[in-house]
Amino acid sequence: MKNIKVLGSGCKNCETTANLIRIAAEQAGAEIDLEKITDMAEIMGYGVMSTPGVVVDGKVVHAGGLPGPDLVRQWIAE
């Protein structure tokens, strides 16, 4: 099971990113543990300065702006 964290304040882009990940996992039949991290100190601990950020299994894979659907599917498939 993949651990995926969406880093952000809870803004619309952060919520949309979390929903994109949830939908991609459902479509792929993949089980994920999806967390939303809103604590700015924890977000900055990952080195993310612009949100939303995405962390997959402890590795930052995206920061700033909405990720494209193909990129989200790639995170789920890896």
Q: Are strands 53-56 and 59-63 parallel, antiparallel or unpaired?
A: antiparallel
- Annotated catalytic, 43? no
Catalytic residue among 4, 6, 14, 18: 14
**Which residues are CB-contacts of 31 (< 8 A; sequence separation ≥ 6)?**
1, 2, 25
Cα→Cα distances 73→18, 42, 78, Å: 13, 25, 9
Catalytic residue among 3, 10, 11, 19: 11
- Annotated catalytic, 11? yes
The residues assigned a catalytic role are: 11, 14
